[in-house]
Amino acid sequence: MAETLLSISEVLLYGEKVADMTYKDKKGDPIKRFIRVFGFGFEGGYYALDAPIIMLLAGNGDSITDKNTPKDVKDSFATDIKLWTLDKSDSSVRLDELTGTIEEILLEVELGGGGRVSGGRVSGGRVSGGRVSGGRVSGGRVSGGRVSGGKDD
């Protein structure tokens, strides 16, 4: 894979087709597939995901043995893992896999006790893309707080 001027925006996704999920466009043609993504490459680095995510991607993917996939990445996966090459401006859908009992994946997450943070990113001293779901604060109290330097209106 030769480096090009536009390679800076290239994102490599490593994953496998999800066999029991299908997607069809309005004409009924399966042009995209649900892929379980385990990690991705960006700007020369490889990033393993803490938990797999499902993304809707076009194409069948390429074999990681057919590409210039780094040896340590190849060694991390079975040989049937595929590679999707995308541009960072491409659009897709991301589904986070969360499995468990209804109590664990719905009630605790949405009603409290099981709050989780997903999609957060810290880059260059700023936070972007963060999302908190299921978080709840009850009985919170602040004491001894002080504000200084304020202006009266």
Provide the domain count of the chain: 2
Q: Quick one: average pLDDT of 111-132?
A: 54
Query: 144 or 22: whose pLDDT is higher?
Result: 22
Residues 110 and 56 in one domain: no
Assess if residue 140 is contained within a domain.
Answer: no
pLDDT in tens, 42-71: 888 889 888 899 999 998 898 887 666 777
Rounded-to-integer distance, Cα 136 and Cα 121, Å: 21
Is the entire prediction scored with pTM above 0.75? no
pLDDT in tens, 83-101: 999 999 998 999 988 888 9
Share the mean pLDDT of the chain: 75
Residues 80 and 123 in one domain: no
Q: Quick one: average pLDDT of 106-118?
A: 71
Q: Which of 52-66, 105-119, 127-141 has the highest mean pLDDT?
A: 52-66
Residues 116 and 90 in one domain: no
Assess if residue 151 is contained within a domain.
Answer: no
Residues 11 and 52 in one domain: yes
Q: Which domain holds residue 20?
A: 5-96
DSSP class per residue in the chain: ----GGGGGEEEEEEEE-TT-----TTS---EEEEEEEEEEETTEEEEEEEEEEEEEES--EETTTTT--HHHHHHS-TT-EEEEEETT----EEE---S-HIIIIIHHHHSS--EEES-EEETTEEES-EEES----S----S----S----
Rounded-to-integer distance, Cα 39 and Cα 95, Å: 14
